[in-house]
Structure 1
Amino acid sequence: MRGPDPDRTPIDALTERINDAVSGRPRTVVVAFLIVSLVFAGGMGMGGEQQAGTDQFTADVEEQDALDAMEEDFSRGSRESGGSTATLFVSDDRNVLSKPSLLRMLTAQERLEDKDELRVSTTTGPASIIATQLDPSADTAEAQRRAVERATARELDAAIRRAANNGGIGPVSTDFTAESGSAEVAQVVVQYDTPPAASTGQRASIQTRTVDVVGGVEGLEPGDNVVVFGDAIINEEVNQLLTDTAIIVFPAALLLIVFFLVVAYRDPVDLGLGVVALLMTLVWTFGFMGYASIPFSDSLVTVFPLLLAVGIDFGIHIINRYREERAEGAAIGEAMRLTTDQLTTAFFIVTLTTVFGFAANLTSSLGQLQDFGIVAAAGIVFTFLIFGVFLPAGKVVLDRLREGTRFPRFGTAPLGREGSIMGTVLPLGAKAARVAPVVVLVVALVAGAAGGAYGTGVDTEFSQEAFFPDQEKVDAYGQLPEPLAPSEYTFMRVLDHLEEDFDQGFIGSVTLYVQDRDVRSNVALEDVDRATQDPPDAFASENRRAEATSIVSVMESRAAADPEFAAMVDRFDTDGDGIPDREVDRVYDELLSSAHGDRARNYLTADRSATRIEYTLTADADQAEATAAANAVAEDMRLDATPTGTLVVNQVVIDRITESAIRSLIVAFLLTAAFLMVSYWWLESRAVYGLINLVPVLVTVGLLAGSMRYFGIPLTPFNAPILSVSIGLGVDYTVHYMHRFVDEYEAGRSVEEALLITSRGTGGALTGSMLTTVCGLGTLYLALIPLVAEFGVLLALGVFYAYLASIFVLPSVIVVWDRTASLAAPVANAVTR
């Protein structure tokens, strides 16, 4: 059964309107598009505060909400908690616990606490703990400094040993031992009482001024023997990474894109028109983001190279096909009419299928991936309008202005013309299809299937570290002249300290947040203690007990140092397990009123409605294992416990990334398949053309998935859309090839002849588009942000695979279909008779 009369379809009507406007009123079209561009330019910069780092992906994650609630609960009524936190990494190659170093740390802490504008609530560190061993009444940095000043060397050594044996000396490097009383690196924690509504910029400003105050202490040199690290500073540095990446990548991309456009266009006028169209695409998209209140983030950086890729492709196709018609003797207006008559339909199909690939990300549960889908889908529609209407109209205006003048003529021959080197190489796919199409098709399908199967083992990654480059890359780029040289990143130094001096990564623990009205009950402490017994393998342990910090461990430290408190614990312990199971509130009162009260407040909220347990992980535990272990322990507790912490949140995001990638791939494929089949049925009464289009696309997706694993590129929030996007990129190339073939084939040419014409004509445009796009996108590999660099590699590979599949695989698919249909026709006729 055939569809509606293909002689007159809505797409034909749209094409005729575009033809009339482009050929009959090109100046009006150009002016109208320039006016719209001014309107969109007004929306640029209105999208709100730039977003970067991991926070942008955790905004709507339930586990992140639990983490925020926990931090808020423990900030109320606690002298050790504030609105934000910074950490000072103080190093001394000789001994950071020597008297001079301790005094420098306490002097810095005293000055920070005295600066009202910094809103510092408390400062704590090894120097504070040692000072309270010398003088238990020293509860300020000033008093603690005086205690250390008065202490003799012997008294100081004894205080260090007591602190080490009585709950720990605080965060010092792993080279510390109680016997030596020395270490190379110590951490000082600074708590700020910043308002809940304080912005990241405000918090970063306070933390940055902390660097200035610390640098004013003689013997402390920021960036040398002291590094100030805070969450707001890191967020600012991620934003700076975006800027530094743009400064390096954009000029390189522009140079390469312009170079290959010069090669493709070989005419400065056409080149200028193409560049203007690309800039308009960016202006429209940025303006849309502003009016839609979508903030710019590093996850959206990748949208713009995608739009440039599609725009370059559309532009080269328009100019190349126009030159083909001009070479046949057509006048300017008629040549452009013939060009848009054929290409507008292909552009329309490419646009909608690419929109499906982008919009499939709306099925993701991550807000940033949804924003990616919205912005990319809108951008591709803008690209269709600008390159499908504005650029042809602009070309007509410019060529009519040049006609009859002495303006020099540049390269006007189409790419891939017969007799050229490209015209000799491009038909190889068509020639192979004539000789051994089944072999080519089977090899391609096996390669795609093998790549897809291999790619199922790709790793996943999501952490703050993934946003920062390795030091070697920063050092190499540091040799560039200003303003190309990147900034210094505190995070790099902090990560080195954590890994080398503290034997931990940026994330070293998981937390159980226990929010239950029974926290004050007689069974609460026993349940908390039981949660540390016989821990899973992911948790560090000793003697079958997890290395964990909780209200119970604080209580045990107090009991070990205070016989009276130990006696109280024994009195209220009826079953002899060392844990009070009566009068728990009285035990809390006594604990909170002691010198251990500040530590206790970190594990028991002021209203005693919540507590938390922090588990240390084994060195080889990964995020998935640690999260699974935390969930298992939480399920076994009688109290209402929720696993949380940065590590758990990151693992949840990873799970959502994987789920989103698979779901968006399936949705994009199904929507694309349905649309292509309906489109070709409507246009040509042959739905099978749509299926033929998809075979090379499947090969492209399979090869790209396999390449991710082969090159060690993990699945991240940045590249999660790549598989669904690769469908859109693949269809971009196959639709252009298939649509040209159908035009030639339906005009009465044989399959072989139609393939040769298509391979030279459309194949030439595809080659120019591929070279320009691959090299332009490939410059993303220069990005300082590893996630952006990896996405650039995947995009370039996706375009390259799509090109190869279109030129060398699609002809064989067409020939196999034609021969199969020819063999089936007599059988069908016989059955009908």
Structure 2
Amino acid sequence: MTASGPTDDTSETKRSDPVTPIINRYITTVPWRVVGVFLLLTVFFVVGIGGTGEQQAGADQFTADLEEADALEEMEERFSQNQRASGGSSATLFISDDRNVLSKPVLLRILDAQDQLETRDRLRVSSTGSPASNIALQLDPTADTAEQQYQSIERASDRQIERAIQDADESGALGPVSQDFSAPAASASVMQVFVNYDVPASADTGDAASLQFETVDIVDAIDGFTAGDNVVVFADAILEDEILQLLTDTAIVVFPAAILLIMFFLIVAYRDPLDLLLGVTALVMTLVWTFGFMGYANIPFSDSMVTVFPLLLAVGIDFGIHIINRYREERAEGAAITEAMRLTSTQLTAAFLIVTITTVFSFIANLTSSLDSTREFGIVAAAGMVFTFLIFGVFLPAGKVGLDNFREGRRIPTFGVAPLGNEDSILGRVLPVGVWLARVAPVVVLSFALLIGAAGGFLGAGVDTEFSEEAFFPDQERIDQYQSLPGPLAPSDYTFMQVLDRLENDFGVAFVGSVTVFIDDPQVRSDIALREIDRAIQNPPPSIEATDRRAESDSILDVIDSRAAEDPEFDQFVRASDSTGDGVPDKNIDLIYQELFDSPRSGDAASYVTSDRSAARIIYDVDVDAEQAAITADAQGIADAMRLDAVATGDLVVNQVVIDQITDSAIRSLFVAFILTGVFLILSYRWLEGRAVYGAINLVPIVVTVGALAGTMRVLDIALTPINAPILAVSIGLGVDYTVHFMHRFVDEFENRGDVDAALMITARGTGGALTGSMFTTVTGLGTLFLAFIPLIQDFGLLLALGVLYAYLASILILPATIVVWHRFDQQYELPSGVEKSLPWRQ
């Protein structure tokens, strides 16, 4: 085929895909059998939904199988067992009063709560503590229990209580009260109460969780206290529960909003009730099949999976609108039902196949990620994309043929059967704007588009990467905005947000990541252990806080020094165990540990060495101005330099490792998706149309779309996160969805007419109308993710919606200019057919 039209040479190279004839035969001859088979498969997948794994939410889902995260989990488990042996699991209560939390009535309520917690046997509370207890001890140093402390406060006058508060403040024994504390006025607005539980080492985390939730109920039952209002309880179990609840609340708000908006635009696009019912049924089937696949594959529902379903809905909506709109075009030309669907399927099935395979490529490219959640996203999304093709490429056309055959000859009215974008409509007059621009200045349009893509790519290279537990929680203002929603749509109260607010605003403390070197080595009880720990503290790297060339840190050495300062006999034993005189014991190490664990303050030693003496840890203070990457690298350097088996861990280190993996995953999946998509498009068009160059032309708008999206992330200050890491690879699939439909229709029209301008005009109005309906429906559907409570899902929803919009604009505005530029180039350098066949761009 030359630039001006088809020729005998190239017509011989054009082939039909093997799938289309098979699909055509079944959907036009036995449509109801096809529908029946798909309904049976839907029942099969419905059964599979029950096998979906447990929900996963929050940061933990992205840290599975990381060495640093595994070390952190093991360290916390082993040291929590130490603490449980001495009364370990704990919770913190933030109690507030706008007038004065240190007033006598509030102090009495607090001590009443402590007494009830301590005296409930099933609650296993080993001890409680608070500023209220410390004030009571100033009044009566012999008041050992919460009940005795209550009586001490009850007997005291207001003046005596004020004096006790001032004495406790002067001696540093008052305890944690808010920054607005005034000693002269003996007032503050918030105080912290600590609750320690005596949980056996053999107990699992669920036991501790039940105790913490029961604590909330007990305090809430006390007159004057309301959990979630003037009493906020913070504990690990409650945090885990709230993370899962956040995912549930997001689904409750997002899914109904998406359904309403999608239904509105589907009504506009389909306009016929039966077509609408068929399209909605296909969408529901797509979701059911995908959920069922997750169940059979035992893949849990997580934050990442929230984004999969809008993506599949987007592609399904696109396929459905294309099928119905193209079918209506053929019917408007006078074709019978079966013939109209045969022509529609013949033209669209190849495009659907190309879109499906290239989109699957963009999803499975995420299998190169080292993050389990990202790989699971790729698997589920790829499977869902195949289901979408089958349902919308086979079931929906068969259902349409069956319904129209049933309706024909019966008095069942039809509504709005005119195709979108017909020449007489407003849309039909607007859509050819890209064709008009391509007529006037195609080189300018293409050059400007490539400039935008390049500028976006340059900006996008500087996009930040973010990962932390707090990133999964919205700010309180956003939650408050949704509290007015009716009934089940209203979100839960999130303790974590209130705890953050209390810590930051009332106590001047922000959650910061910890840096810990975890030593898991039997030699912890050997003679070299303490020397190695001491060496790891000397001459720390720049990101670690230091005094006199020693790191600001906490370790078993500090416990030994503290005990030696209080116990002369122990001090003498430590000195005798130090053969070099440098203050660090190098013999009798196991006996020193035993002395520490046998002391009344065994919990101090249990914080840094496990009871079996097989593991230890060093906790470092970090420079608040240091970069997280530098801190992580320095901590890893300390661990690597130790002669004991050690690993750097802690929240900060784990977060940085995930950040590094997010960046690598995003770049790797982008290149894999682009290469696979590019090769497949070129080979597909070479096979189907006899011209590989059509595949290359398809890639131009996609490159611009990806570049523009990357630049938008930088402009809007949206960081790469575990949730949106696949966005660049996915944007390739989104771009292909639009450009392939446009290009495939153009090729068909160009072959029939031999005129580029006429083919572009028909494509812009016909396929452009379907693309427009799909774009509006998809953008609004994906845009509902911006309503999510989880900020990371909000950002991903915005990026997906923008990616669809950019892909649509690129196909409508940029692709016509690209085609015209290629056409002119092809005409200018037209060569004899024998030479032509030897040139790559001619193939």
**TM-score of the pair, normalised by structure 2:** 0.90
> How far apart, CA to CA, are the structure 2 residues paired with 1:23 and 1:586?
86
Q: Which residue of 1 aligns with 2:841?
A: none
Residue 503 to residue 531, structure 1, CA distance change in 2 (3 Å): farther
Which residue identity lines up with residue 188 of structure 1 in the other structure? F
> How far apart, CA to CA, are the structure 2 residues paired with 1:782 and 1:188?
36
Moved more, 71-80 or 755-764: 71-80
Q: Which residue of 1 aligns with 2:192?
A: 186
Pick from 548, 555, 558: which aligns with 2:563? 558
* 8 Å Cα contact 1:80-1:122 kept in structure 2: no
> Aligned with 2:334: secondary structure?
coil
Which residue identity lines up with residue 436 of structure 2 in the other structure? K
Q: Which residue of 1 aligns with 2:254?
A: 249
1:648-667 equivalences under 5 Å are 648-667=653-672
Matched, 1:36 2:38: no
Q: Which residue of 2 aligns with 1:67?
A: 72
Shift of 1:607: 2.1
Residue 36 to residue 602, structure 1, CA distance change in 2 (3 Å): same
Q: Which runs of 5+ in 1 are unaligned?
A: none
* 8 Å Cα contact 1:722-1:794 kept in structure 2: yes
Residue 510 to residue 368, structure 1, CA distance change in 2 (3 Å): same
Shift of 1:513: 1.0
> Aligned with 1:794: secondary structure?
helix
> How far apart, CA to CA, are the structure 2 residues paired with 1:298 and 1:194?
34
Residue by residue over 1:395-452, the C-alpha shift from the partner in whole angstroms, topping out at 9 and shown as x without a partner, is 1112122223332231111111113221122111122122211111111111101101
Which residue identity lines up with residue 504 of structure 1 in the other structure? V
> Aligned with 1:715: secondary structure?
coil
Q: Which residue of 2 aligns with 1:396?
A: 401
Q: Which residue of 2 aligns with 1:817?
A: 822
> How far apart, CA to CA, are the structure 2 residues paired with 1:504 and 1:748?
72
Residue by residue over 1:637-669, the C-alpha shift from the partner in whole angstroms, topping out at 9 and shown as x without a partner, is 444331111222122111111111111111111
* 8 Å Cα contact 1:161-1:181 kept in structure 2: no
Q: Which residue of 2 aligns with 1:697?
A: 702
Moved more, 546-555 or 492-501: 546-555
* 8 Å Cα contact 1:161-1:179 kept in structure 2: no
Residue 141 to residue 571, structure 1, CA distance change in 2 (3 Å): farther
Q: Which residue of 2 aligns with 1:733?
A: 738
> How far apart, CA to CA, are the structure 1 residues paired with 2:154 and 2:542?
45
Q: Which runs of 5+ in 2 are unaligned?
A: 2-8, 839-843
Shift of 1:543: 5.7
Tell me how many residue pairs correspond in the alignment: 826
> How far apart, CA to CA, are the structure 2 residues paired with 1:261 and 1:828?
48
> Aligned with 1:480: secondary structure?
coil
Q: Which residue of 2 aligns with 1:297?
A: 302
Shift of 1:159: 7.2
Matched, 1:607 2:612: yes
Q: Which residue of 1 aligns with 2:24?
A: 19
> Aligned with 1:780: secondary structure?
helix
Matched, 1:623 2:628: yes
> How far apart, CA to CA, are the structure 2 residues paired with 1:614 and 1:410?
71
Which residue identity lines up with residue 497 of structure 2 in the other structure? M
Q: Which residue of 2 aligns with 1:706?
A: 711
Which residue identity lines up with residue 307 of structure 2 in the other structure? T
Which residue identity lines up with residue 355 of structure 1 in the other structure? V
Moved more, 338-347 or 773-782: 773-782
> How far apart, CA to CA, are the structure 2 residues paired with 1:80 and 1:137?
26
> How far apart, CA to CA, are the structure 2 residues paired with 1:426 and 1:15?
29
Residue 432 to residue 84, structure 1, CA distance change in 2 (3 Å): farther
* 8 Å Cα contact 2:128-2:193 kept in structure 1: no
Moved more, 188-197 or 276-285: 188-197
Q: Which residue of 1 aligns with 2:4?
A: none
Pick from 461, 468, 474: which aligns with 1:456? 461
Q: Which residue of 2 aligns with 1:359?
A: 364
> Aligned with 1:460: secondary structure?
coil
Moved more, 61-70 or 116-125: 116-125
> How far apart, CA to CA, are the structure 2 residues paired with 1:199 and 1:564?
39
Pick from 722, 732, 735: which aligns with 2:727? 722
Shift of 1:243: 2.2
Residue 254 to residue 738, structure 1, CA distance change in 2 (3 Å): same
* 8 Å Cα contact 1:462-1:717 kept in structure 2: yes
1:433-448 equivalences under 5 Å are 433-448=438-453
> How far apart, CA to CA, are the structure 1 residues paired with 2:198 and 2:64?
23
Residue 128 to residue 512, structure 1, CA distance change in 2 (3 Å): farther
> How far apart, CA to CA, are the structure 2 residues paired with 1:616 and 1:138?
36
Shift of 1:87: 2.8
* 8 Å Cα contact 1:617-1:626 kept in structure 2: yes
Which residue identity lines up with residue 429 of structure 1 in the other structure? G
> How far apart, CA to CA, are the structure 2 residues paired with 1:561 and 1:173?
32
> How far apart, CA to CA, are the structure 2 residues paired with 1:140 and 1:246?
47
> Aligned with 1:503: secondary structure?
coil
> How far apart, CA to CA, are the structure 2 residues paired with 1:141 and 1:532?
41
Shift of 1:788: 1.3
Q: Which residue of 2 aligns with 1:382?
A: 387
Matched, 1:332 2:337: yes
Matched, 1:516 2:511: no
Shift of 1:40: 1.0
Matched, 1:796 2:797: no
* 8 Å Cα contact 2:135-2:164 kept in structure 1: no
> How far apart, CA to CA, are the structure 1 residues paired with 2:334 and 2:693?
35
> Aligned with 1:289: secondary structure?
helix
Shift of 1:576: 5.5
Pick from 224, 233, 237: which aligns with 1:232? 237
Residue 18 to residue 487, structure 1, CA distance change in 2 (3 Å): same
Shift of 1:810: 0.8
**TM-score of the pair, normalised by structure 1:** 0.91
Residue by residue over 1:224-266, the C-alpha shift from the partner in whole angstroms, topping out at 9 and shown as x without a partner, is 3432112221222122222222222222211211111111122
Q: Which residue of 1 aligns with 2:321?
A: 316
> Aligned with 2:594: secondary structure?
helix
Shift of 1:288: 1.1
Which residue identity lines up with residue 590 of structure 1 in the other structure? E
Residue by residue over 1:344-388, the C-alpha shift from the partner in whole angstroms, topping out at 9 and shown as x without a partner, is 010011000000111111111111111111111110111101111
Pick from 752, 759, 784: which aligns with 1:754? 759
Residue 766 to residue 374, structure 1, CA distance change in 2 (3 Å): same
Residue by residue over 1:288-340, the C-alpha shift from the partner in whole angstroms, topping out at 9 and shown as x without a partner, is 11111111112100000000000000000001100110111101110011000
Residue 425 to residue 438, structure 1, CA distance change in 2 (3 Å): same
* 8 Å Cα contact 1:508-1:617 kept in structure 2: no
Shift of 1:500: 2.3
> How far apart, CA to CA, are the structure 1 residues paired with 2:289 and 2:607?
50
> Aligned with 1:410: secondary structure?
coil
> How far apart, CA to CA, are the structure 1 residues paired with 2:253 and 2:640?
49
Which residue identity lines up with residue 252 of structure 1 in the other structure? A
* 8 Å Cα contact 2:82-2:607 kept in structure 1: no
Moved more, 425-434 or 320-329: 425-434
> How far apart, CA to CA, are the structure 2 residues paired with 1:643 and 1:708?
32
> How far apart, CA to CA, are the structure 2 residues paired with 1:126 and 1:23?
80
Residue by residue over 1:561-590, the C-alpha shift from the partner in whole angstroms, topping out at 9 and shown as x without a partner, is 445545554555565654444544444333
> How far apart, CA to CA, are the structure 2 residues paired with 1:812 and 1:770?
21
* 8 Å Cα contact 2:88-2:196 kept in structure 1: no
* 8 Å Cα contact 2:165-2:183 kept in structure 1: no
Shift of 1:4: 11
> How far apart, CA to CA, are the structure 2 residues paired with 1:648 and 1:756?
57
> Aligned with 2:517: secondary structure?
strand
> How far apart, CA to CA, are the structure 1 residues paired with 2:661 and 2:427?
45
**What percent of counterpart residues are identical?**
63
* 8 Å Cα contact 2:92-2:192 kept in structure 1: no
Pick from 490, 495, 498: which aligns with 1:493? 498
> How far apart, CA to CA, are the structure 1 residues paired with 2:767 and 2:266?
17
* 8 Å Cα contact 2:251-2:306 kept in structure 1: no
* 8 Å Cα contact 1:172-1:187 kept in structure 2: no
